[in-house]
Every structure is written in structure tokens, then in C-alpha cells.
Amino acid sequence: MMNEELIQLSQKFPAWIWNTAFILFSFALGILIKILFIPILRYQAIAQSSYSLFRSFIRRFNKVLSLFIPLVVFNSLLPFMRFNAATLHIVGKINEILLISFFAVVLIQAIKVFEDYLYHRFDINKENNLRERKIRTQIVFIRKVFITIIIVVSFAIILLSFESMQKIGAGLLTGVGVGGIIIGFAAQKSLGNLLAGFQIAFTQPIRMDDVLVVEGEWGKVEEINLTYVVVNIWDKRRLVLPITYFIEKPFQNWTRTTAEILGTVFIYVDFAIPVQQLREKLGSLLMHHPLWDGKVNVLQVTDLKERTMEIRCLMSCRNSGQAFDLRCYVREEMMSYIRTNFPDCLSKSRIDYGAEVNRSELRGM
């Protein structure tokens, strides 16, 4: 009944006015939704520090829904528009492609909403975050795999909607045919990287925020992508490595099981220095420093060289960043203490002038 009334009403107006009115109605609906979202978006801006599933949904979907809903409305009203057959086919095809594309975007945003929840559930902003970093590494990789699958399937569905492209679309979905085999051989390296990514995501030789020494550089894992890893080096440079590197080559992972690490400071002094006093000084330095975790405090003579004595100060810290700062502090304070209290015990070269004179006299005889 409603359909018949709309058809009769459409005959009373010129086609271009009728069609324009439907298009404007669809877009006006999107603008209305956007206006309704403005107070919610302002609330989100005020309370950014706290997490809520609703706020995450609004943040991810506010732009998408303002376009997706008008497209859905336009698609439902399309049968009532007064287009000729050719124009209706073209407009319908464009609308269909846009709907498929936006539906893929909606799925991707839904994945990101779920990712936000998992990030909140497994927060890495705490001191002992090994379990959280393990899970976050898997979340990031799985999210990227799902997004890639959604994009490929959506593109294949769009191709399947065209008769001339149906073979290509079917090939994308089934992965068979001579073209697929050729592409498979051509992309063998990339596929190897992708499989290595799966291996890293679940065996986890590295995780997000792990501290690594790789290619002689110290840094933290910043990104784990499908085919490469980005390491944020201490001086803000980025080291980009293929993901297979972490399967095939050795590297140091300083946070594999725990973030705790031992810091070392080597001091080279004269043999005459009183080691016990240095040991006591190290203990007093560490005792009053917030970066020391209170577990390891050792000073030992680790080597005797031809002209100097090697002393190693060993201290424990909660993580490698704090260990570096504490080592610098101990190194500066120990050298200041030695320079002030035992200036004659700094490393030096000895020359025995008496022995030199005796040897000269012997040569003269």
C-alpha cells in the first residue's frame, strides 16, 4: 500500500525533483546522525583518559556511520526513484560497490573496537607486563591478518559483481589457476615473511615493547607488521628489518622472560687502592638510589692487567632503561670518590729512574 502511494506521488513531480529529494533526504539523515553524535563526541573529548566500550564505539564509528547509513537508506529508496533502465543500472552498481566497501570498513572498525577492549584488559603500562606484551603481540598480528582478509574478500566480491571480472574475483577467493600459481612463485619471499609472522606471533621470540640488541643497535620493538618489524633505537632512529630476520639470525632479547637486568660498571685503577672501601662506597650509593631494586650489589676485582687492576661493580635493576641510568650514576660517583679520596690510585704508568741509572752505569763500564 505504501509503495503504491509513493509511486502515485512520484508521478506528480518532475523526475529530477523527485530523485534530488530522495538523495537529499539520504544525506540529511547522515547529517542528523552526526548532529546527534556531537554531544557524545564532546563527552569523549572530556573523558579521554578513561576507557569505556561505548566511547570506543563512538570514536571508531562516528565518521563511518554518517556515510554508511545514508547509503543504506539510499539503497532502500532506489526502487522508488525515477531513473531509466540504463541509469538505474549504473547508479545501482555504484551504490552496491560503495555498500560493499563501507561494510568492509564497518567490519574493520568493529575489529578495532574489540582491539581497544583487549588493550584495556591487558594494559602494558605497568612494571611487570610480560603477559600483557605477549597477548598484545598476538592481538596486533591477528588484527592485521583479519583486516587483510576482509580487504581481499571485499575486493573479490566487488569483482564478482561484474560479469567480465567474475573469473578474477573467483580466482581471488579460491586461490587457484595458473595466475595464482605464478603470483605464488613471484611472491614466495613475501609469503615466507607472512608465515614467519605467524610463527613470531605465537612462539614469540620477540614481543611488542621488547628490548633488543640487533645489528649492534639497542632499541625497543615498536611495530610487528605482517612482513617486517620496526625497532625504535635509543636515539629515535628506526631500524626496519624483515620479519624473517628474527627467525633466521641471532639477536639479543633483554626482556624475553623478565625485564630485570644486571648492570655493570668497570673501573681501572692502581693496584694500591683499598678495595673494601670501594665496596662500602658502592653499597652506600645504591642504598639511597631509587633505581636500584635491592637485589644485587657486588664489587669484585675481575682482572689484573699489566698496569692496572680491573674492578667490576655489579647492580640489579627493574629494566634496561633504569640500568643504563644507574650505571652512569655509579660510574660518575665512584670516579669522583676515587679522585677525591685516593688520587694516587688512579691508573698510571710507573718509571723507576733508579733502575734506569743503574742500567746506564753498567752499559758505560
Q: What pLDDT, in 10s, does the model give residues 40-68?
A: 655 555 555 566 777 777 777 777 777 77
Lowest model confidence (mean pLDDT) among 93-102, 103-112, 161-170, 272-281: 161-170
CB contact at 8 A, 99 and 158: no
Q: Give me the mean pLDDT over the 145-169 stretch.
A: 76
Closest listed residue to residue 213, CA positions, set 79, 361, 97, 324: 324
Q: Identify the pLDDT of residue 41.
A: 58
How big, in percent rounded to 5, are the helix, strand and coil portions of the chain? 60, 15, 20
What does DSSP assign to residue 223? Answer: E
pLDDT level of residue 189 (50, 70, 90 thresholds): low
Q: Phi and psi (nearest 5°) for 238?
A: -115, 130
Instruction: Output 365 or 75, whichever has higher pLDDT.
Output: 75
Radius of gyration for the alpha carbons in the chain, expressed in angstroms and rounded = 35
CB contact at 8 A, 135 and 118: yes
Instruction: Output 310 or 166, whichever has higher pLDDT.
Output: 310
Residues 343 and 262: their CA atoms lie apart, in Å, by: 29
CATH of region 261-345, choose from 1.25.40.10, 3.40.50.9100, 3.30.420.10, 3.30.70.100: 3.30.70.100
Give CATH 2.30.30.60 domain extents, the chain: 206-253
Instruction: For the domain covering 206-253, report its CATH number.
Output: 2.30.30.60
Q: Identify the pLDDT of residue 299.
A: 93
Tell me how far apart the terminal alpha carbons of the chain are, to the nearest angstrom: 135
pLDDT level of residue 2 (50, 70, 90 thresholds): very low
Would the pLDDT of 363 be above 50? Answer: yes
Would the pLDDT of 128 be above 80? Answer: no
Lowest model confidence (mean pLDDT) among 43-52, 143-152, 214-223, 305-314: 43-52
CB contact at 8 A, 273 and 337: no
Q: Which range among 124-128, 331-335, 349-353 has the greatest average pLDDT?
A: 331-335
Would the pLDDT of 253 be above 60? Answer: yes
Would the pLDDT of 352 be above 70? Answer: no
Other beta carbons less than 10 A from residue 167's beta carbon? 13
Percent of the chain surpassing pLDDT 90: 17
Q: Residue by residue, what is the 3-state secondary structure of 307-328?
A: CCEEEEEEEEECCHHHHHHHHH
Lowest model confidence (mean pLDDT) among 51-55, 110-114, 254-258: 51-55
Would the pLDDT of 14 be above 80? Answer: no
Would the pLDDT of 1 be above 50? Answer: no
Q: Identify the pLDDT of residue 185.
A: 45
Q: Phi and psi (nearest 5°) for 313?
A: -100, 125
Give CATH 3.30.70.100 domain extents, the chain: 261-345
pLDDT level of residue 210 (50, 70, 90 thresholds): confident
Closest listed residue to residue 295, CA positions, set 274, 267, 326, 325: 326
Q: How does strand 261-269 pair with strand 309-317?
A: antiparallel
Q: Identify the pLDDT of residue 181.
A: 46
Q: Identify the pLDDT of residue 313.
A: 94
